[in-house]
Structure 1
Amino acid sequence: MENSENQEQRTNFFQSTTAKMIMVGVLTLFLLIPLEYVKNLIFERSERKKEVVNEVAELWGKDIYFYGPTLRIPYKTYTETSVVDAKTKQVQIQKTSAINYAYFFPEQLKNKSNIKKNTSLKRGLYNNVVFTANMNFEGFFGKPNFEKLQIKDEDVLWEKAVIIVKTSNLKSIKSDLNIKLNSQTFVFESKAQEDRFYGELETNIFDYNQLKTNEKINFNFAMLYNGSNSVKFIPVGKTTTVNIDSDWESPSFEGSFAANTDSKTINKEGFHADWKVLHINRPFAQQHLEKMPNLDEFLFGVKLIETVDEYQQNERASKYGFLVIGLTFLIFFLIQSISKISIHIFQYSMIGLALIMFYTLLISITEHSSFSLAYIISAISVIVMIVLYSFSILKIKKFPFFIGASLTALYTFIFVIIQLENYALLVGSIGLFLILGAVMYFSRKIDWKNN
């Protein structure tokens, strides 16, 4: 008698609302496992895209960092050593000389660059957006101030001056490199790369005193680059002016110096930006001894970014997977409680797996089209599947239509949040507040004691 009563109590418990709530809750947590696999899939596809982009950048050209031009003039230094004669015991002074170098930055440096994007490079599923940069430089060097460096004029080797340019991307230069110094033209030649990041271009030697005009050497030259990701400059001029025009619609201005806000424009056709950096704006001198200093911390310029990364959007969408599963199960559970219709845990599992399939459809379709189109196709497919399945498990026809409307509103709400940047948290919080209010409203008349 007692055994039958215990069995009846256990049966009643498993059929109770509490037990069903526990099972649905456990199933929701269990579905986080396949959802996590989906997130890992998105991460793997994203990393694969990065690998392909890096491979293409290696072949086409990477970031363009420009350092120069710089005037290098050698000078003599002397070392005196005392030598004692073994026989006479007299002390003799021997004087030896060595060659060192002084580096001088230009008084004025102007750059005008035009950057055009190239979308023709495609490898596999990925379109790799790179660019071609046409860069023109002009300016002048003033008379080197060796007195400030405490070097005598007679020790300066004026006849062995050269112009040096350092750049991060020698192999992607696509133009002949000639520099005009006053009335003469010189050819840049590449030197052995001592710096792991910068390559070095250097002219043949020339006599500074013969080349100068009114104590100045004017220069101008042009460089055509293949590049990707960014274009940046070091402001070596006493006055450095940079003007960049591009058909890229999504620039990010970076570095130690901001672009002029009065002339900066960004629209669908591209952007224009100007920089003007004075020597008082930067904490380094116009002349240096022994070697050119590392000035990477003073780089400034533009990074050409993709505003919409489909894998980032997929990742953001997958983060709402738990919310979608939980709210969908809650809708079915409330319908079950209100209508007294029994929904088996297996049927909940099928609905949960259909919701997981949304994210695999989304990532696979996105790779062949836009994220927005992929989201619409995936959402409609999953909603139609669940609505049709609901017709077979729910007796009243109005419930499947209610489920379809609810899922449509939920997926639309998540899509809006994904598109927002600054207001995502605000809109998300308001949306969740309204969802909670709707759940409280529809569950207010449920008699939990009789369930």
Structure 2
Amino acid sequence: MNQFGLSQSEHGTQDILRRSMGVKLLVVCGLALVMTIPSFFVESLLSERTARAADVVKEISAHVGGQQTFLGPTLAIPYTLAADSKHGVYLVFPARATAAVQTRTEERRRSLFKVPVFQADLKMNASFDLAGVPAAAPEGAQLDWNRAELILGVSDARGAQSDAIATIDGKSVTLAPARISAEMPMNPEEGQLSTLTLFGTGVQDIARPGAQFAVTAALRFTGAQRLALLSYGKTTRLTMQGDWPSPGFDGGFLPVTRNVSKNGFSAEWSVPFIARGVGAEGTAGAMRSLDATALGVSFIEMADPYQSVTRSLKYLLLFLGLVFLSYFVFEVTTGKRVHPAQYVLVGIAQVIFYLLLLSFAERMGFDWGFLLAGGATVILLASNAGWIFGSRLQGFRSLGVFGLLYTLIYLLLRLEDNALLVGTVASFLAVAAVMYFTRRIDWYSSLPGSSLSKPSDEAA
């Protein structure tokens, strides 16, 4: 009996439980879970850097116009309701609209952060046919044709690089701030037009009931991140070309044809009247669905470092577990014990890998950042295995195993849609490998190197 009242056999049983390989495996799994706690601090730092990048985008966008949305040539006619003398604006869209947009992009930098900025040259054509107008005017509305105005719109006029020029039936005019803009509905629920800056010119000499005329407008604007054109005609065709290698097509309609290469992109949209979902004419308040017809292109980075690091953090527990399992297999197959403190150091090295990845990716991009951070971590983990197990050969084996694991991390981040499938299969194969290499182990036996695995000198 010892001082705690336990027999020698009972004490030995508890000691074996503390030192058995089965218990050690449970301890290793528990340590893997505990080591995920520091990842929350890494995630907090990542959120802070992401927020800072978003602030830089806002600061730069404020000087170049931000995300730009354009409205092509549209006829605006003020009207008055005779019953209560209320005023409004009646809009008539062109019967046919064709537009061509050419963009040139560059990256503006501030400190470590960069923002795609574009310069766009827009040429918008419109063919008006006023036969039957007004067909959707409110009852009792009296249209003031003498104040009719051809208008265009843009979400942020600060991005203008030159005056807007319109050619109406062969006559060129410079557009000015629209006179009817104050009469447009300002309630955001009334539609996208309430968020646009309008500019135009009077067309009272041309715009008459039953008239037909053609308009061409030329604009040059800067902006950041996204460019969109509203489907401003009953039928609208748009072609767009640019030098950005990774565009994202969005909005109410996707292009019918597209071509993307490392040198840029080209795309073409075609929106027929039945798909547009907005009437050919009507009050400004009736055009609340016009924003849903936007034809947009987003200028996005192929590998956003913050998004990629965020995705890699989701796999932290998986790869902590795989690295810990690898060390455990090395432990039981070499007969060399590994202290839990050494597992903790291995976990800390993997957490620091994400800090290295974030700091390198901000400066040189995610691919090169992962290569440097991952390579340094793999070398450290393999060297540590060589030191622990006292074998240079074991160090080289560890280098191959850990190199394969970190290559798998990179592939998972690049596979995107297939990441779950590949990650699941890889995890299954890893567990199967552990089962195979430990198939002859008696999990109730003591750990390799334990004093209980052989008779003591005193017992002998």
TM-score range, shorter chain: 0.7 to 0.9
Q: Which runs of 5+ in 1 are unaligned?
A: 80-95
Deviations, residues 26-47 of structure 1 (Å, cap 9, x unaligned):
2222111112222222222222
Q: Matches of 1:19 and 1:374 in 2, distance apart?
A: 38
**CA spacing shift, 1:435–1:169, aligned 2, 3 Å:** same
Indicate conservation of the 8 Å contact 1:116/1:132, yes or no: yes
Residue of structure 2 in register with 1:3 after alignment:
6
- SS of 2:345's equivalent? helix
Q: Indicate which of 281, 304, 325 corresponds to 1:287.
A: 281
Indicate conservation of the 8 Å contact 1:249/1:269, yes or no: yes
Indicate conservation of the 8 Å contact 1:161/1:208, yes or no: no
Q: Does 1:167 align with 2:167?
A: no
Further displaced range: 184-193 or 336-345: 184-193
Q: Matches of 1:372 and 1:62 in 2, distance apart?
A: 28
1:8 CA drift (Å): 3.8
Q: Indicate which of 393, 402, 409 corresponds to 1:414.
A: 409
- SS of 2:202's equivalent? coil
Residue of structure 1 in register with 2:113 after alignment:
126
1:206 CA drift (Å): 4.0
Q: Indicate which of 32, 56, 69 corresponds to 2:73.
A: 69
Deviations, residues 104-129 of structure 1 (Å, cap 9, x unaligned):
1112222111011112x111101211
**What TM-score comes out, normalization by structure 2 length?**
0.85
Residue of structure 2 in register with 1:90 after alignment:
none
Q: 1:195-344 alignment to 2 at 5 Å?
A: 195=186, 198-209=195-206, 215-261=211-257, 264-289=258-283, 293-294=287-288, 295-344=290-339
Residue of structure 2 in register with 1:448 after alignment:
443
Further displaced range: 36-45 or 141-150: 141-150
1:156 CA drift (Å): 4.9
Q: Matches of 1:337 and 1:416 in 2, distance apart?
A: 30
**Cα-Cα RMSD:** 2.8
- SS of 1:3's equivalent? coil
Deviations, residues 177-224 of structure 1 (Å, cap 9, x unaligned):
232222433332225676466233343434335x77993222112111
Residue of structure 2 in register with 1:103 after alignment:
91
Counterpart of 2:406 in structure 1: which amino acid?
Y
Q: Matches of 1:103 and 1:65 in 2, distance apart?
A: 18
**What TM-score comes out, normalization by structure 1 length?**
0.87
Residue of structure 2 in register with 1:113 after alignment:
101
1:293 CA drift (Å): 2.0
Q: Matches of 1:379 and 1:126 in 2, distance apart?
A: 23
- SS of 2:82's equivalent? strand
Q: Choose between structure 1 and 2 for higher RCO, CA contacts under 8 A separated by at least 6 residues.
A: 2
Q: Matches of 1:157 and 1:188 in 2, distance apart?
A: 20
Counterpart of 1:199 in structure 2: which amino acid?
L
**CA spacing shift, 1:357–1:99, aligned 2, 3 Å:** closer
Deviations, residues 251-288 of structure 1 (Å, cap 9, x unaligned):
22222323223xx2221111111122222332332221
Indicate conservation of the 8 Å contact 2:132/2:210, yes or no: no
Q: Matches of 2:410 and 2:138 in 1, distance apart?
A: 68
Further displaced range: 335-344 or 240-249: 335-344
1:144 CA drift (Å): 5.0
Q: Does 1:31 align with 2:28?
A: no
Residue of structure 1 in register with 2:376 after alignment:
381
Deviations, residues 148-202 of structure 1 (Å, cap 9, x unaligned):
35799x9654332211222212111111123222243333222567646623334
Indicate conservation of the 8 Å contact 1:74/1:156, yes or no: yes
Residue of structure 2 in register with 1:93 after alignment:
none
Q: Matches of 1:97 and 1:377 in 2, distance apart?
A: 72
Q: Matches of 2:295 and 2:422 in 1, distance apart?
A: 35
Q: Matches of 1:214 and 1:449 in 2, distance apart?
A: 96
Indicate conservation of the 8 Å contact 1:110/1:138, yes or no: yes
Further displaced range: 103-112 or 192-201: 192-201
Q: Matches of 1:151 and 1:11 in 2, distance apart?
A: 91
Indicate conservation of the 8 Å contact 1:102/1:291, yes or no: no
- SS of 1:448's equivalent? coil
**CA spacing shift, 1:318–1:77, aligned 2, 3 Å:** closer
1:407 CA drift (Å): 0.6
**CA spacing shift, 1:150–1:353, aligned 2, 3 Å:** closer
Q: Matches of 1:343 and 1:99 in 2, distance apart?
A: 83
Q: Matches of 1:398 and 1:3 in 2, distance apart?
A: 44
**CA spacing shift, 1:150–1:334, aligned 2, 3 Å:** closer
Residue of structure 2 in register with 1:358 after alignment:
353
1:391 CA drift (Å): 2.9
Further displaced range: 160-169 or 283-292: 283-292
